[in-house]
Structure 1
């Protein structure tokens, strides 16, 4: 041991002149104290990720930045790996790139899974450099769909993940409500008035953006205290690592009771989702009233007194919402808003940079155009505003808006909405888009990159790929990249694994939809919009063909059960579709058999996922319950945590759609069984009452894990692929929904509220009602298309579907240029006369 240590020191001394010679002049301005601080913090990250023994075999040094951008350099001999970087995250990124270049493993959300040899592979000097000053993570709602109940330990792990992947900025609104409550109390509001304005912890992102209030419960004093304590820990570690926080600012949303103190203030009720009653909609004051600036100043001073300096301040007043009606043109209102908001922020924090999310610009193109965007931004100096343009995979913004008129902006992606677990994403796009944007002459003041998924801990390959593009000016070559990825992830050069990933790239990872969900997750007896091309099934079969050889590898096990669960869930959809068809045709025996097999497939998927490191409901609940020692308060946190990933509100139902063990067997399976029973037996199902009961019942049922989940996954998939799904003569028709006797009331008009998938919406020109069996025709008088709680299309005329069909086609489609983010539904007014013996389907008109 002594000899080895001496050799390492000698090697370090010999390498120092080589490493430092080229940069000695520039590095001279970095003080010894600064160098020590950087290397000490980097060593802390590496020790936590790799272990102290491995970290002790790495020599760390400091490089200057290149025009404000990070760089690193590494080289190695058998006894010593030498890394220099311009920041803590640059050093950590350099280490991670070295590890992967030599196929030593990956650092993922399930932890660091590394296989580091006793001696380092020889490596000549390699230098890496990022084209971006800023590498940012998260959007506002990540703090609802991912982090609301994260603990100190989970945050510590995440910050190390960020450092190893080279990120230096994140959104961080933790404890914002605790600080804002102090401001409200100083103003004279009572705690009761404040509580009437709040939401539960998981719904706070939507509360901060002015979307909702009085949803999901309220916040306790213990919650505020725990969040302040958590924020101190998180900020301390962030500052140590060199990750800049984007702090939540005051955006004008206030408790309605503020009118008691300031009756002169004009308040505007927000409109986010039309399904929420006015009692759950916040109110907003615009910044032209002096109270806005006073609250902004009090809030930011209070925040900085508690937590220290804040530079980047997030203020979004119109995210996904209609503009308030002020009696003046929108451009005039927005110009004044931009000017006054910037003045309010800098009055409290003179060096602050106003930060806003660019999502609203692409989501609401009917509001945001070149004129309105310019009006909002033009009063703010170019370097004092940062636009987080994070939805380039959804609907690119920047080119349409002249690169945000010279203001600083970061480009990136929102690869996941709500934390949905099915695979999805265009790898070719992610591999090349950064390089294309950097080369574009109209990119303006592009300073950064962002990955801003709403729900993390899924589709991990995409986050590895996107992170790599943030450290290169060139497009990533996916062929060799995927080969290296497979070798690192599974610690094997098995050609079957590399082939499987190439097949996944050519199938499911060549496709994008913002909301992939299975039909059964939406209470639909039919297919959802999860990718199901046979090429994907072949990729999974290739991957599982080597399960015997790799079953003990943790990453292989996780991916095997995840891929298999997707396949089984897709097959379950086919069985559930067979139920709907057979009931419409009166064949209840086929419906019963299809129901049994569909449920079996889902329970098989659930049991497989119980062995997954991340995709489990018990893990989510344990994080929530850890925030209190009181059973009553822990039960509340659990209910709120379950609510955000299932019922949400309502009315934003089934948004997250997670394929998790425990969630499938305890929520989705019993709920779809109720739907099936209702369809077969003609009995009503009170969905709201059932869901409310489930939310209030704590705990997750137990299930035995498979002894060898990867091998079992292969067997279950092989069996599912061989089995035949019952077919009917109507199986090839594109049915949006079905009706049955239990949906109807004799001689009474009823409203059928029916989900529509995003894929169906893209093709929809209208719908047609087709009678398939029974004694009573269906009368129709109107069909409406509801998007995000608002009616966007309506066709009202009398129609019939029975032994004869008359005027049974209804023209409803999404208006051109409109984007939909949340729920899409059809609402049809129908009735039968003299009885309810009526079955049929509602077909898509394309």
Structure 2
């Protein structure tokens, strides 16, 4: 008997050592992250994980001709290594490429940095439609590495929400047909998850859920290995239409969303007092944790950008709101009492009632969260630049009394729909987070972050915001931009300094809600009485900034990140010129004369070919990601059409062209021929003809081929000079 006890103890100790990796094993993880990003050059680092429960910190020093990074978390170790690369070696890691040059003699350093935040949050629900919908593990691994070195530790993931929810629906007794009718195409999953739509661009291929499960395991395993705390989707009350046949006595309410979809795609939500609400929510958490293990934070939004079901009187409405909040929380708590419910805060300052008045008054929001313990709810205050620069109202954390004692995260939404144009007030991002940190009654702010709808654009903003997550004071933007330029391009000549100043006074000094070019809108979508439908920032100062930026080409032409950024800024300048010329064509046509599109289309085709040299702004890349999910030809074609639909027609007239990508392939294959076809037949039913043309393009596989320019920087300079001189 004694020997059996000894064996049991030995086995128990061994298992415990596997479940709790040693600090030595943990310290290898940052080495692997930096190794993937910078190869053998990462061997300059020695990482040491220090166990303490303080806010995350890292310390840098030089010992025995190596960089010693000490920190109290895996993410802090990764951030510490990147901090040294940025500030001592003037290096940069970005979506479009890395600029890493380690001096032969390592620069001295002795610095300790502590973040004021418990969490640094990342992603938006819809990022997982507009950007990550069809990513494979290789692309996800790169993104997780990017997150790690930028110090982000709380990502909101889409994960295998649909696969797990399908299991629950099957166990409830719903038919495969009911389930097929419920789920949308993968690119539209975010709006399916938020109850904005059902079934749009479905059904899914049979093989989809198995692949979704496999990829989510890979994502979560890596995130957990790095000590991240991912936010997982939970059940928010949305059910298939067929639920009424199984449960005829259950109250189900139809929801409406302004996306322009057919009524058959409306979503349905269970009444808050329905026992089925909590039952399905509990089963979902149980099924998720059986597959992936225990989670800590679950997101559920029942009314994101949607009208709340009507009540007979204000008192009843407050009672019902409290009931919805209680049901969502209880559905999570009943399966995992340690978990925290997460909700997005975007809709609260955004949503207006039929009279144009703010629906989510402090009284109503407080009712919604009133039945949830303070430490079991986390609100993502997502749109601080909207409050500050666009709506020009008080920040939400002030409007809603520090969110009534619940936990909350300060965040931004720098991008809508994955749009590419340079946009956003850099000074806002560099300064206003300090206001919340210093506010006397901010209550329980636990984090900082950013929630772009689409990424791989405006990289300067995300580099700036990731730095903000590791400081509690404003950033001196003049000095920061000087460092950024040196890190990204290897130098900061006087003309580049002037160019950045001009950019700050133009496109990076203004915030546009949805920056799009006129050539990206449907030819027939121009509102009556509106002369210019373009929303990209346009000014003489911006065009001057393009010219000044290009004047640095001789000095910086060998730096590929400078070339990529030069392409982007020239493409935007040429796009504005094309917009103006297009308006002239439209005016000629509307006055009964023959319209000549040749010059406009010529400029757009140059833009398209310039972008063929850019690593991110490319339709073929988007299509390749989507097709890789298919096993057979029909599946590949389905995924491709779903991916194309999201970035073009989306779903209906109100959101058509919403995503507005300035991409190689999309311009030459979609925007250019759409305009040409529109003007081809002066007597046709143009609106319907265009809708038919768009749908045919979406369902036709493939992207036309093109050869990039041998010297895109040279062509960019010459083309811009040609049209800039004409303007001036």
TM over 0.5: yes
Residue 62 (structure 1) aligns with: 49
User: What are the residue-to-residue correspondences of 1:698-717 with 2, within 5 Å?
Assistant: 698-717=701-720
Residue 47 (structure 1) aligns with: 35
Which sits farther off after the overlay, 716-725 or 461-470?
Answer: 716-725
Residues 237, 328 of structure 2: 8 Å contact kept: no
Q: 1:724 to 1:582 in 2, by over 3 A?
A: farther
Which sits farther off after the overlay, 103-112 or 466-475?
Answer: 103-112
Which sits farther off after the overlay, 327-336 or 149-158?
Answer: 327-336
Residue 122 (structure 1) aligns with: 108
- Quick one: distance in 2 between partners of 1:450 and 1:249? 21
Residue 12 (structure 2) aligns with: none
Residues 123, 450 of structure 2: 8 Å contact kept: yes
- Quick one: distance in 2 between partners of 1:76 and 1:499? 36
Indicate the SS of the match to 2:232: strand
Indicate the SS of the match to 1:84: strand
Deviation at 1:122, TM superposition (A): 1.9
2:633 pairs with 1:631: yes
- Quick one: distance in 2 between partners of 1:73 and 1:675? 61
Residues 489, 562 of structure 2: 8 Å contact kept: yes
Residues 272, 320 of structure 2: 8 Å contact kept: no
- Quick one: distance in 2 between partners of 1:724 and 1:239? 55
- Quick one: distance in 2 between partners of 1:63 and 1:357? 34
Q: 1:381 to 1:34 in 2, by over 3 A?
A: farther
Deviation at 1:94, TM superposition (A): 1.0
- Quick one: distance in 1 between partners of 2:52 and 2:455? 30
- Quick one: distance in 2 between partners of 1:584 and 1:289? 57
2:73 pairs with 1:87: yes
Residues 78, 148 of structure 2: 8 Å contact kept: yes
Residue 108 (structure 1) aligns with: 94
2:175 pairs with 1:169: no
User: What are the residue-to-residue correspondences of 1:32-431 with 2, within 5 Å?
Assistant: 34-51=22-39, 53-65=40-52, 67=54, 69-76=55-62, 79-123=65-109, 125-273=110-258, 275-327=260-312, 329-365=316-352, 366-395=358-387, 396-431=395-430
Q: Deviations over 1:736-782 (max 9, x none)?
A: xxxxxxxxxxxxxxxxxxxxxxxxxxxxxxxxxxxxxxxxxxxxxxx
- Quick one: distance in 2 between partners of 1:666 and 1:494? 39
Indicate the SS of the match to 1:530: coil
User: Out of 615, 618, 626, which is 2:617 matched to?
Assistant: 615
Residue 604 (structure 1) aligns with: 606
Q: Deviations over 1:250-277 (max 9, x none)?
A: 0110011111111111111011116223
Residue 664 (structure 2) aligns with: 661
Which sits farther off after the overlay, 320-329 or 330-339?
Answer: 320-329
- Quick one: distance in 1 between partners of 2:81 and 2:560? 22
Deviation at 1:354, TM superposition (A): 0.4
Residues 388, 450 of structure 1: 8 Å contact kept: no
Indicate the SS of the match to 2:686: coil
User: What are the residue-to-residue correspondences of 1:532-547 with 2, within 5 Å?
Assistant: 532-547=538-553
- Quick one: distance in 2 between partners of 1:675 and 1:409? 49
- Quick one: distance in 1 between partners of 2:304 and 2:138? 32
Deviation at 1:79, TM superposition (A): 2.4
Residues 551, 711 of structure 1: 8 Å contact kept: no
Residues 260, 651 of structure 2: 8 Å contact kept: no
Which sits farther off after the overlay, 606-615 or 91-100?
Answer: 91-100
- Quick one: distance in 2 between partners of 1:540 and 1:681? 41
Q: Deviations over 1:383-423 (max 9, x none)?
A: 11000111111123111110100100001100100000011
Residues 551, 708 of structure 1: 8 Å contact kept: no
Indicate the SS of the match to 2:334: helix
**Structure with more of its chain in helix, by fraction:** 2
User: Out of 668, 671, 690, which is 1:687 matched to?
Assistant: 690
Indicate the SS of the match to 1:348: coil
Indicate the SS of the match to 2:371: coil
**What are the ranges of 5 or more consecutive residues in structure 2 without an aligned counterpart?**
1-18, 353-357, 388-394, 527-531
Residue 549 (structure 1) aligns with: 555
Residues 103, 491 of structure 1: 8 Å contact kept: no
Deviation at 1:120, TM superposition (A): 1.3
Indicate the SS of the match to 2:584: helix
Which sits farther off after the overlay, 428-437 or 493-502?
Answer: 493-502
2:569 pairs with 1:563: yes
Indicate the SS of the match to 2:107: coil
- Quick one: distance in 2 between partners of 1:439 and 1:88? 28
Indicate the SS of the match to 2:674: helix
Indicate the SS of the match to 2:384: coil
Which sits farther off after the overlay, 641-650 or 551-560?
Answer: 551-560
Indicate the SS of the match to 1:221: coil
Residue 431 (structure 2) aligns with: 432
Indicate the SS of the match to 1:394: helix
Residues 430, 477 of structure 2: 8 Å contact kept: yes
Residues 254, 268 of structure 2: 8 Å contact kept: yes
Residues 253, 284 of structure 1: 8 Å contact kept: yes
**What are the ranges of 5 or more consecutive residues in structure 1 without an aligned counterpart?**
1-30, 726-846
- Quick one: distance in 2 between partners of 1:340 and 1:150? 34
- Quick one: distance in 2 between partners of 1:684 and 1:623? 33
- Quick one: distance in 2 between partners of 1:661 and 1:470? 34
Q: 1:65 to 1:602 in 2, by over 3 A?
A: farther
For the aligned residue pairs, the C-alpha RMSD in angstroms reads 1.8
Q: Deviations over 1:346-386 (max 9, x none)?
A: 11111010000001101114320110011011211111100
Deviation at 1:32, TM superposition (A): 10
- Quick one: distance in 2 between partners of 1:566 and 1:437? 34
Indicate the SS of the match to 1:59: strand
Deviation at 1:286, TM superposition (A): 2.6
Residues 645, 657 of structure 1: 8 Å contact kept: yes
Deviation at 1:75, TM superposition (A): 1.6
Residues 527, 573 of structure 1: 8 Å contact kept: no
Residues 609, 708 of structure 2: 8 Å contact kept: yes
- Quick one: distance in 2 between partners of 1:541 and 1:493? 16
Residues 615, 661 of structure 1: 8 Å contact kept: yes
Bigger Rg, which one: 1
Residue 650 (structure 1) aligns with: 652
Q: 1:33 to 1:247 in 2, by over 3 A?
A: closer
Residues 77, 122 of structure 1: 8 Å contact kept: no
- Quick one: distance in 2 between partners of 1:415 and 1:456? 9
- If asked which structure has higher relative contact order (CA below 8 Å, sep 6+), I would say 2
Q: Deviations over 1:287-320 (max 9, x none)?
A: 3111111111111111000001111011110101
Residues 342, 379 of structure 2: 8 Å contact kept: yes
- Quick one: distance in 2 between partners of 1:681 and 1:503? 46
Residues 169, 244 of structure 1: 8 Å contact kept: yes
**TM-score scaled by length of structure 2:** 0.92
Residues 512, 537 of structure 2: 8 Å contact kept: no
Q: 1:82 to 1:91 in 2, by over 3 A?
A: same
- Quick one: distance in 1 between partners of 2:465 and 2:300? 26
- Quick one: distance in 1 between partners of 2:408 and 2:84? 30
Indicate the SS of the match to 1:723: helix
Residue 579 (structure 1) aligns with: 585
Q: Deviations over 1:704-761 (max 9, x none)?
A: 2111111211111101112369xxxxxxxxxxxxxxxxxxxxxxxxxxxxxxxxxxxx
Q: Deviations over 1:683-717 (max 9, x none)?
A: 73511100011001111111121111112111111
Residues 78, 122 of structure 1: 8 Å contact kept: no
Indicate the SS of the match to 1:399: helix
Residues 517, 530 of structure 1: 8 Å contact kept: yes
